[in-house]
Amino acid sequence: GENVEQHPSTLSVQEGDSAVIKCTYSDSASNYFPWYKQELGKGPQLIIDIRSNVGEKKDQRIAVTLNKTAKHFSLHITETQPEDSAVYFCAASIYGNNRLAFGKGNQVVVIP
Amino acid sequence: SQTIHQWPATLVQPVGSPLSLECTVEGTSNPNLYWYRQAAGRGLQLLFYSVGIGQISSEVPQNLSASRPQDRQFILSSKKLLLSDSGFYLCAWSGTGGEETQYFGPGTRLLVL
């Protein structure tokens, strides 16, 4: 099955700097890649997603890039703010599979 | 719009006691439904998923079971809890027809003592 890995496991950034989290996946058939943000004690919330027919997608301060050849995708957060501190999960799936393969999560800490 | 509910929010249970966690979804029909467990500081482990009433797929062998008695209701149960069942239980839903996006509920924190 699909295997998704996230790096780094913990990332600390100064407020206002950018944060980048990278995920790699194993199954070249995967074609959908969502990112979730989980705040302490809450369920994960979808923040952005990308499909394999697109190389980049932006939504205000967050963006996701996809490199199908290298089988990796990244989350970019610009102008980080304290409220960006959370655990971020990446995932991958194949259309029609009904399941997402999740990475183990990255703890992002924004230092004021 | 769609909303997903889980209850209870927090539960403390003794070892060997039964368990019933409930998840309901509003605003959609025939969703796919999922149960995940998240141990402290760990990732998301898929336990069960369902594509329809009475249709349950188990991802990992364990002493937990799931049922889907109604279209938008998903229940996680155990006859006898173990210490290792402690964790954060998350329910999620997605649309049918191959729609992959999953939306999570607020979760239930279970502590088995």
Mean pLDDT, rounded, of chain A: 94
Tokens of A4: 């998704």
C-alpha distances in Å from residue B88, one per residue of A41, A77, A80, B64: 9, 27, 28, 14
Alpha-carbon gap: A61 to the closest alpha carbon of chain B (Å):
21
Provide, as residue numbers in chain A, all residues whose Cβ is less than 8 Å from the Cβ of B51. Answer: 98
Alpha-carbon gap: B72 to the closest alpha carbon of chain A (Å):
17
Q: A54 and A65 in contact (C-beta within 8 Å)?
A: no
Q: Does A99 touch chain B (CB under 8 A)?
A: yes
DSSP per residue, A21-80: EEEEES-TT--EEEEEEE-TTS--EEEEEEETT-SEEEETTEEEEEETTTTEEEEEE-S-
Provide, as residue numbers in chain A, all residues whose Cβ is less than 8 Å from the Cβ of B5. Answer: none
Residue B94 — pLDDT band, cuts 50, 70, 90? very high
B98 vs A95, A100, A105: nearest CB: A95
Beta bridge partners of B58: B48
Residue B1 — pLDDT band, cuts 50, 70, 90? confident
Whether B108 shows a pLDDT value over 70: the answer reads yes
Best interface-test mutation with A: which of B38, B44, B56, B94 has the largest number of A CBs within 10 A?
B44
Whether A96 shows a pLDDT value over 80: the answer reads no
A89 vs B44, B51, B94: nearest CB: B44
Please give the pLDDT value at position B98: 66
* Signed CA dihedral, A48, B93, B7, B43: sign only: negative
Q: B107 and B6 in contact (C-beta within 8 Å)?
A: yes
Whether A8 shows a pLDDT value over 90: the answer reads no
Q: Does A22 touch chain B (CB under 8 A)?
A: no
| pLDDT tens figures, A55-69 | 999 999 999 999 999
B20, B101, B31: which is closest to B71 by C-alpha?
Answer: B31
- Over residues B13-19, mean pLDDT: 98
A104 vs B43, B100, B104: nearest CB: B43
A96 vs B44, B98, B103: nearest CB: B98
Mean pLDDT, rounded, of chain B: 93
